[in-house]
Amino acid sequence: MRTLSQVLRDTTEKFPQRNAILDPSGTTLTYKQLDSKVDQLARGMLELGVAKGDKVGLWMPNIPEWVVAYYAIARVGAVVVPMNTRYKTHEVEYILNNSEATTLFAVDAFAGIDYLTMIGEIRGNLPNLKHVIVVGQPGQHMHRFESVSERGSSFLKDGVLAEREASCDPMDNVFILYTSGTTGNPKGAMLSHHNIAKNAEQVTEVLHTEQQDVFLLAVPFFHCFGCVMGIAGAITWGAAMVPMQIFKPVDALKLVERFGISVLYGVPTMFVLELEEYRKGKADGSAYDVSTLRTGIMAGAPCPVEVMRGTMEDMHCNVSIAYGLTEASPVITMTRFDDSVARRVETVGRALSGIEVKIADEDRKPLATGEMGELACRGYNVMMGYFQMPDKTAESIDADGWLYSGDLATMDADGYVQIVGRKKDMLICGGFNVYPAEIEEYLFTHPKVQNVSVIGMPDSVMGEVAVAYIIPREGQTIDPQEIVDYCAGEIANFKVPRYVELIRELPMTQSGKIQKFRLREIAKASMDAGQMKQIRPSRTS
């Protein structure tokens, strides 16, 4: 077992001059340079007083500084708290307060979002937050990222960093990744160094990763897909990473051509758009050179069979389908290169080594082969628990160590898993998990909304989008556009409903529970009849 810092140290020793990061902006870091920058920042954090076990927010897009901060935090024995770059003020406040973060790494602005103003608005409500370290121009009482690293260069007390690093154990908590709950309050899944290091190694081993590989990472670093399967996976083998801040299919294909990308990661939405763009270029004689593509991972949402086939046959990218969840560090099952085409396009593969999988009934008892039930797993990859939520942890992990996913699945006699649906009401929009209760909770604050229920419906590009069914308050008239605009800029853009339907009453059970399956039936009938119209925000979120 190794800590994340040990993994980087080992790779640096093996491949000091190999490229670690190839940033499209022109920045290139070898493994020796990356490790040195991690050392400098780690010493700077020690000089600031960051203690072992301190929670450190990481609120930045896919830039080299994210990787440096990630490993520096791990090196000093602190805990990384990755944060979605599209979070709004109240979401940021909740995460930092709940995690008791003492330090925050952030950019000054990204994608039109003024991070410093948002931090200024909530800092008075964050009693634990001592330091804000900014890439870019810092605000009042904040540190420049470079300044902290410079402080680390001069903080050379013998053995201080080495002593701290040596005190870290592979079983220590190193990540708290927040995943939304059906109650609307995000839960912090605690992952250890070993959880992440082992899963990253196994996932990339399935891909036959070598030091010559070049990963294109357009999946966000704040997500397990980016920080575990991507960053940690590449570093395990000494491969290079090309970070992409904002995904655009044209730009992605250009980067494949420019850097000789061999490993391509993405949610199905990304592959859909890349495939369309590639085919378009091929048709008009301006095809992108993707001949260096070797493999990759498609995960984060159900994958359409035709997209998988197209990626493999048209782009000659021998991708693997991966399935998992944050609480499982994250990957549970993967398809392999020697699997039949049918299994690779119709299943999510079989369990990784050291992970057990079972399909359970409502009483959590194992079901026979081929029967549908809830997928559960047990092994080294199961999270340490939810931060400060022992009751929620006990709901998800039983006394025998089985983690229950909430996903409905079947498993054949050879251990291949097919995901059938979701036990809970979560929808996946563009690869992001979206829980209806979060959106409902916010919509209930609208003065004209009496009741609301949110469901997910299929979307050809995003995979799924949110549909809000609303009962207006008596005497009130609601324009669907105002509901969308009410959400835009206040909740993350992937959570904003694309459809708003006004309804007199919601279908209920006799016990008063909303029957969401009935709403899905109603929505499908309306969509099939062409009666539902997508609504976009009239202002930028």
Please state, rounded to an integer, the average pLDDT across all residues of the chain.
92
List, for residues 493-526, the tens digit of each pLDDT value. 999 999 999 999 888 754 455 788 889 999 999 9
User: Among candidates 101, 443, 430, 112, which has minimal Cα distance to 272?
Assistant: 430
Name the amino acid, one letter, at 15. F
**The pair of three-digit structure tokens given for residue 403, joined into one six-digit string:** 């983690």
Sign of CA dihedral 216, 222, 223, 227: positive
List, for residues 200-236, the tens digit of each pLDDT value. 999 999 999 999 999 999 999 999 999 999 999 999 9
Numbered ranges of CATH 3.40.50.12780 in the chain: 4-17+25-192, 247-422
438: exposed, middle or buried (C-beta count within 10 Å: 0-12, 13-18, 19+)? buried
List, for residues 366-414, the tens digit of each pLDDT value. 999 999 899 999 999 999 999 999 999 999 999 999 999 988 899 999 9
Q: Which pairing describes strands 28-30 and 19-22: parallel, antiparallel, or unpaired?
A: antiparallel
Banded model confidence at residue 438, pLDDT cuts 50, 70, 90? confident
Res 351 pLDDT > 90: yes
List, for residues 455-468, the tens digit of each pLDDT value. 999 998 899 999 99
Q: 203, 335 in Cβ contact below 8 A?
A: no
> In whole angstroms, what is the distance from residue 228 CA to residue 331 CA?
9
| pLDDT cut 70: percent of the chain above it | 96
List, for residues 318-342, the tens digit of each pLDDT value. 999 999 999 999 999 999 999 998 8
CATH of domain 427-528: 3.30.300.30
Res 155 pLDDT > 70: no
Sign of CA dihedral 49, 52, 54, 58: positive
- Residues whose CB is less than 8 angstroms from the CB of residue 308 and which lie 6 or more positions away in sequence, other chains included: 298, 319, 321, 344, 345
Taken as a whole, the chain contains a residue count of 541
For the residues 293-297, what does the mean pLDDT come to?
97
Name the amino acid, one letter, at 420. V
Banded model confidence at residue 156, pLDDT cuts 50, 70, 90? low
Sign of CA dihedral 94, 97, 98, 100: positive
* Angle between helices 268-283 and 249-259 in degrees, nearest 10: 80
> In whole angstroms, what is the distance from residue 175 CA to residue 82 CA?
8
Element (H, E) at 132: strand 131-135
Banded model confidence at residue 421, pLDDT cuts 50, 70, 90? low
pLDDT at 440: 86
Architecture per CATH, domain 247-422, reads as: 3-Layer(aba) Sandwich (3.40)
Question: Which pTM value belongs to this model?
Answer: 0.83
| pLDDT cut 90: percent of the chain above it | 77
For the residues 175-184, what does the mean pLDDT come to?
71
List, for residues 111-123, the tens digit of each pLDDT value. 999 999 999 999 9
List, for residues 3-60, the tens digit of each pLDDT value. 999 999 999 999 999 999 999 999 999 999 999 999 999 999 999 999 999 999 999 9
| Superfamily designation of domain 4-17+25-192 | ANL, N-terminal domain (3.40.50.12780)
Q: How far is CA 342 from the centre of its chain?
A: 28
Burial 302-329 (b: 16+ CB within 10 A, else e): bbbeebbebbbeebebebbbbbbbbbbb
Res 310 pLDDT > 70: yes
DSSP state of 229: I
Banded model confidence at residue 158, pLDDT cuts 50, 70, 90? low
User: Among candidates 212, 256, 422, which has minimal Cα distance to 325?
Assistant: 422
Numbered ranges of CATH 3.30.300.30 in the chain: 427-528
pLDDT at 16: 98
Between 79-83, 131-135, 276-280, 434-438, the lowest mean confidence (pLDDT) is in 434-438
**The pair of three-digit structure tokens given for residue 539, joined into one six-digit string:** 């202002």
Element (H, E) at 333: strand 331-334
Q: 31, 238 in Cβ contact below 8 A?
A: yes
User: Among candidates 102, 109, 131, which has minimal Cα distance to 61?
Assistant: 109
Number of Cα atoms under 13 Å in the Cβ half of residue 353: 9
Sign of CA dihedral 273, 274, 276, 277: positive
